[in-house]
């Protein structure tokens, strides 16, 4: 097992170096497609797909993925500026601060943006706090 494989998370694209080594092993006749798939811990269908791409295009890169562009990314500097001034800002507080500047984003989208840039926030739920005992509330 290679170090790269232990670091790779499921659902993420496989790096070009690993693709190159797997396809080279099959094309040079050192391994069968199935043996390469087992050795590099990838799906056998992936090996055959990469080989087909290599033969047709001369590379094994994925096709561009569809999807709409992020609305949050163009406001990256503004978000970083807000977080630089108040590093302990929660996601909801950040959402309100951006709304005050005319930018409306959903909480989940802001979470994904912050995670993508290594700025994870813990989710703080006020409603999960322990309730005040009734006897203490009367005094």
Model confidence, pTM? 0.48
What distance in Å separates the CA atoms of residue 5 and residue 97, rounded to the nearest whole number? 40
Query: Does the structure show a pLDDT above 90 at 132?
Result: no
Q: What is the mean pLDDT of residues 41-55?
A: 92
- Exposed, middle or buried by CB within 10 Å (0-12, 13-18, 19+), for 136? exposed
What distance in Å separates the CA atoms of residue 85 and residue 117, rounded to the nearest whole number? 17
Is the distance from CB of 98 to CB of 104 less than 8 angstroms? Answer: yes
Query: pLDDT for 25-36, tens place per residue?
Result: 999 999 999 999
The full length of the chain comes to 139
Amino acid 72: pLDDT:
92
Residue 41 region by backbone torsions, left for phi larger than 0, else alpha for psi between -120 and 50, else beta: left
Q: Residue holding tokens 């499921």?
A: 10
Amino acid 127: pLDDT:
52
Amino acid 59: pLDDT:
86
Helix (H) or strand (E) holding 89: none
Q: Which residues contact 59 (CB under 8 A, 6 or more apart)?
A: 53
Query: pLDDT for 68-89, tens place per residue?
Result: 888 999 999 999 999 998 888 8
């Amino acid at each position: 097992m290679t170090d790269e494989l232990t670091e790779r998370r499921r659902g993420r694209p496989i790096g070009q170096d690993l693709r190159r080594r797997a396809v080279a092993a099959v094309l040079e006749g050192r391994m069968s497609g199935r043996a390469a798939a087992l050795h590099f811990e990838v799906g056998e269908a992936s090996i055959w797909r990469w080989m087909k791409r290599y033969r047709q295009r001369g590379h094994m890169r994925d096709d561009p993925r569809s999807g709409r562009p992020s609305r949050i990314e163009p406001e990256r500097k503004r978000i970083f500026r807000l977080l630089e001034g108040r590093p302990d800002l929660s996601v909801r507080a950040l959402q309100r601060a951006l709304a005050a500047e005319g930018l409306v984003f959903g909480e989940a989208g802001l979470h994904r943006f912050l995670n993508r840039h290594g700025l994870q926030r813990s989710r703080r739920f006020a409603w999960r706090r322990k309730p005040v005992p009734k006897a203490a509330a009367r005094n």
